[in-house]
Chains A and B, each alone.
Chain A
Amino acid sequence: MVVKNIPSICLSCGGCVGVCPHDAISLEDMKIIINESKCNGCGTCVIFCPVGAMTLEDKPTNEVER
């Protein structure tokens, strides 16, 4: 998995869903679900998350879409 949500930190605000350029995240029943086949590890959600509840296993690629 490229990007991971940490439910114990996440506040289910949905912001990461709105910034993901690849429509890879959804907020279902107040839980963040990442569609691994869509996520390319760009790290946009990691930069956005106000609380640090998204982590990348590897370093972000340089494809962050600002």
Chain B
Amino acid sequence: MIEIPRPVGLKNAYDVVVIGAGPAGSRCAKLIADRGLSVAVFEKRAEIGSPKRCAEGIGVKALQRMGYNGNERFVAQYIDGFYLYAPNGKEFVMDYGSPQGCVVERKVFDKFLAYDAAKAGAKVFTKIEVVDLLKDNGAISGVVIKYGEDVFEVKARVVVSAEGIEGKMARKAGIDNTNKLINVDSGYQYEMANLKLKDANKLYFYLGNEIAPRGYIWIFPKGDHVANVGIGIGGGAGVKRKAKEYLDSWIENHPEIFADASVIEENAGGIPVGGLLKDMVRDGFVVIGDAAHTVNPIHGGGMDEGTRAGEIAAEVICECLNREDVSHDALAKFNELWWKERGEKLRRIEKLRQVIERMSDDDLNFLADELTVQDIIDFAGGKNLRKLAKILLRRPKLIKLATILR
């Protein structure tokens, strides 16, 4: 057997080790490196960003927050609004009149974030999996990495798990981030070409328990005739078929869009649309992004949320390292800040999801008749939910649901 040498450039110790080069991890690593600390990022895939598990939609504001102007090579299509369809076909249209979001190419976007981390001085490694945590008196003090068939120990003052849905290190650190079926959407998607879209600069959402129980179907255009066509469904009771089967039937029933379309890529994934964690830290350890379920529970967007969590974590970690206190109690500042800036809002949105997913198609149609497109935008942002509660109170069998919103 050929002897595999140590990974090129690997040191024995870093201030911070980040596990996973998804958006959350790379963003966090960049901001820590910016402050002059030593950071290593370990990514187990051979290619960052691939395969994608994402419909690739993100707001322009989120990109700007990360220092991008929207002209980068990762932008596939600008989005200036959306169509949303109730089970009875009622159409909601939002036209912002200018690009508010875009559909990116994750395979390029994730690399850009990793380039930025590397440029800031973080050391990024691919095809290296973190397989265990080092502990010192109960505190996390580094990681064990697998490089080829060899394992190495790498010390770190703080370890950040940004491992996404498949993350296992948080559990090893004593944080139970197992996704309960009621809190995770089962996602499936095709990237398709030669579609007939009436407007290739808008997102499309289709609701209904028949087509996508406890979830929805989406079309996110990546070009005039190219789009991510996907489905996310609840993992619990009442779901009789696989996400793929639901999507396939729906595509078959819509020849006006798909008659001549081809599949260019196939994706699957789990979307943690709930189960926010009160405590995301341990001594020397922080968990962020999908691994900490920091996803918008109603639309499933996790790039914006994951990178924000990465930003907040970076700030707290640097502060703690400067003060030379990376204990649970010091790092708990991350819990406090994240819950204040993001968590409270996501918790409200999670309640909204709990209401929506308990509704029959008939209830959804009733609701659709009462709402304006602005209401829908507000609700999805966790705002004005009192209005929703009021509408629910008007239908006896929905009164119970109104109490969830409290």
Contact = CB atoms under 8 A, between A and B. Distances in A.
Contact of B186 (A14, A50, A64): A50
Interface in A3-44: 11-21, 23, 26-28, 30, 44
Contacts of B269: 13-15, 50
B184 interface: yes
A66 B182 contact: yes
B180 A50 contact: no
A20 B180 CA distance: 9
A28 to B, nearest CB: 7
Contact of A14 (B164, B171, B178, B182): B164
B51 A65 contact: no
A21 B237 CA distance: 17
A5 B61 CA distance: 41
B243 A50 contact: yes
Nearest to B244: A51
A7 B171 CA distance: 26
Most buried by A among B45, B166, B168: B166
A20 B244 contact: no
A15 B396 CA distance: 38
B235 A19 contact: yes
Give the size category of B's interface with A: 20 to 34
A48 B168 contact: no
B110 interface: no
Nearest to B266: A11
B188 interface: yes
A56 interface: no
Contact of B181 (A27, A28, A44, A51): A44
A32 B307 CA distance: 27
Interface string B65-83: 0000000000000000000
A18 B186 CA distance: 11
Contacts of B267: 11, 13
A contacts with B: majority SS: loop
B186 A15 contact: yes
Given A13-B270, A15-B268, A51-B242, A65 B166 contact: no
Nearest to B233: A50
Contacts, number: 92
Interface in B200-254: 235-237, 239, 242-244
Nearest to B267: A11
Q: Chain A contact residues (Cβ within 8 angstroms of B): what range? A: 20 to 34
A23 B244 contact: no
Contacts of A2: none
Contacts of B236: 66
Contacts of B53: 13-14
B167 interface: yes
A14 B20 CA distance: 13
Contacts of A23: 168, 171, 178
Nearest to A25: B166
Contact of A66 (B167, B168, B188, B237): B237
A64 B187 CA distance: 20
Given A13-B269, A15-B270, A50-B269, 17 more contacts: A11-B266, A11-B267, A14-B164, A15-B166, A15-B187, A18-B165, A18-B270, A26-B168, A48-B181, A48-B184, A49-B186, A51-B243, A64-B181, A66-B180, A66-B181, A66-B236, A66-B237
Interface of A: 11-21, 23, 26-28, 30, 44, 47-52, 64-66
Interface of B: 45, 51, 53, 129, 164-168, 171, 177-182, 184, 186-188, 235-237, 239, 242-244, 266-270, 272
11 contacts: A13-B165, A15-B165, A15-B166, A15-B269, A18-B270, A19-B184, A20-B178, A44-B181, A48-B235, A51-B242, A52-B244
